[in-house]
Amino acid sequence: MSISYQEFSQKLSLELTPLYDSQEAQNLVEWLLEHHLGLKRMDLFKFMKEEALPEVLYSDLERLKEGEPIQYILGHCPFYGRDFKVNQHTLIPRNETEELVHLIIKENPKPGLKILDIGTGTGCIPISLSLEMTSPEVFGLDISEGAIEVAKENALKNRAQVKFLNCDILKSFPDLPQLDIIVSNPPYVPQSEKKEMHQNVVEFEPHLALFVPDSDPLVFYRVIAEKSKDLLNPGGKLYFEIYEKAGTEISDLLKNLGFDQIKLHKDLNGKDRIISAVLA
């Protein structure tokens, strides 16, 4: 039976509407079709035979209907113009983190900078900085051994030179050289707000990389900022991706620790999302 792309897309999109709005559902279906058929989006508009479609397409659709993020289903996602492996050990890279990477690149044109990313996950931040900046020396830390393995694979795939280290920063830091930039997108969502988050985040993404205790929600910002005073060269820069409601508290924390030139940066949705500071 022949079926047009439009008919097939609408048919599958309708099955996803309990979880997604119509436009997002259509985008997910197109992403699946591109992946499994090896076609660009414009080629999908040609007529195709429904019975010729791979069976895995329908099993992936069932996983989508269960709320599983498409990035985990396909095993990869785009970030800053490159492709990155993702799995249950890593958060899915967000658009806001691309904005963080872009800000660091724009503000730091000097060659040969030494950069540390804390809570590296897929490695998308240090890998992107390694490839977009001029001759940097880049390190990535994570508590999760599984995440470190994914990050190493992503570095190899993207031909990036990054040294990844497994450690729990709440206990100790590894030996590192003096640094020019420290960047982190640490866990920052209070446990009490878990119920307000989308089902596919809470059920599928690693809680270790997402949530912090209600009793000490700034724990990672505080520990990283305190250690940054020892690790950064004078005039070195600290960049955080932040919880939108915590900008003032984190700014005060950095000010009390002696950081200067503290700036809040809004994301494309107008929310406080990045904070930068300079070690005086």
CB 251 within 8 A of CB 218: no
User: How many H-runs (helices) and E-runs (strands) does the chain carry?
Assistant: 10, 13
Question: SS3 of 55, please?
Answer: helix
Annotated ligand binding at 213? The verdict is: no
Annotated ligand binding at 58? The verdict is: no
- CA 192 – CA 189 distance, rounded (Å): 8
Q: Which two tokens stand for residue 60?
A: 């992936």
Annotated ligand binding at 247? The verdict is: no
- CA 181 – CA 130 distance, rounded (Å): 12
CB 33 within 8 A of CB 7: no
> CA-based angle 110:251:273, to the nearest 5?
70
Annotated ligand binding at 185? The verdict is: yes
Helix axes 124-132, 145-158, angle to 10 degrees: 30
CB 275 within 8 A of CB 240: yes
Q: What are the C-alpha distances in Å from 57 to residues 29, 126, 255?
A: 9, 33, 52
Annotated ligand binding at 188? The verdict is: yes
Annotated ligand binding at 119? The verdict is: yes
CB 261 within 8 A of CB 278: yes
Annotated ligand binding at 187? The verdict is: yes
Annotated ligand binding at 258? The verdict is: no
Question: SS3 of 187, please?
Answer: coil
- Tell me the DSSP string of 4-19: -HHHHHHHHHHHHTTT
- CA 187 – CA 273 distance, rounded (Å): 13
Annotated ligand binding at 166? The verdict is: no
Residue stretches of the annotated binding site for substrate:
185-188
Please enumerate, by residue number, every residue annotated as part of a binding site for S-adenosyl-L-methionine.
119-123, 142, 185
Q: Write out the binding residues.
A: 119-123, 142, 185-188
